[in-house]
Amino acid sequence: MIEIRNLCKTFVLNGRRKVVADNISAIFPARTAVAILGRNGAGKSSLLKMLAGSMDPDSGKVLSTGTISWPVGFSGSFHPEMTGLQNVRFIARVYGVDTEELADFVADFAELGQHFNLPVRTYSSGMKSRLAFGVSMGIHFDTYLVDEVTAVGDAAFRDKSEMLFADRVKRSGAIMVTHGLAQVKRLCDHAAVLENGQFFFYTDVQDAIAHHQALMKVEMADTD
């Protein structure tokens, strides 16, 4: 379970303020998949980073029980001069899991072939994301944080990623940022909409989707 209490976050860029979180509070239940919807630039990824602890809020708290993953698909922590295999073994040691078991899982899942034994600096962004997704899914967390990761790769790989993710959330919770509304319907129990720093939590996924679609129509009208 993750709870956010009176969370506030504002960015200032070129003298302009962008409010990501305006005193928001919410509870993400354990063993429940929750989607976060919102327009581009609403701050969904920033909220995910605050939940992960990789970004500090201006004020407020993030409280949790159990373990929380880094944002699944985030590849910024890989050492570029180390191979994919070496990075996986290092992460396994950090999280106290069997190194060879995790390496075998990632090698099979990520489908990197010989690149698994080459430096990560030689990887494309898609290869890095596949490596990161494999590492994340290969370690058990009580809550997985997911940022559009299953969009990586061809259709067959996306299907495989979604099947693996669906299997993980049978035993764990998940908070996912995505623009794939069909995916939200398939995978999520609840959903929320982030807009202008306000957080609207819906127990009915369809209600959240309707809210999101209404915002997108307004955005399209504003650009006409």
Class of 1-67+178-224 per CATH?
Answer: alpha beta
Whether the Cβ atoms of residue 10 and residue 29 lie closer than 8 Å to each other:
no
Strand pairing partners for 194?
A: 199
pLDDT in tens, the chain (224 residues): 999 999 999 999 888 999 999 999 999 999 999 999 999 889 999 999 999 998 999 999 999 999 998 887 666 679 999 999 999 999 999 999 999 999 999 999 999 999 999 999 999 888 888 898 899 899 999 999 988 755 566 778 888 888 888 898 889 999 999 888 998 999 999 999 999 999 999 999 999 999 999 998 876 555 54
Find, among 194, 175, 199, 164, the residue nearest to 64 by Cα: 175
Domain ranges of the chain: 1-67+178-224
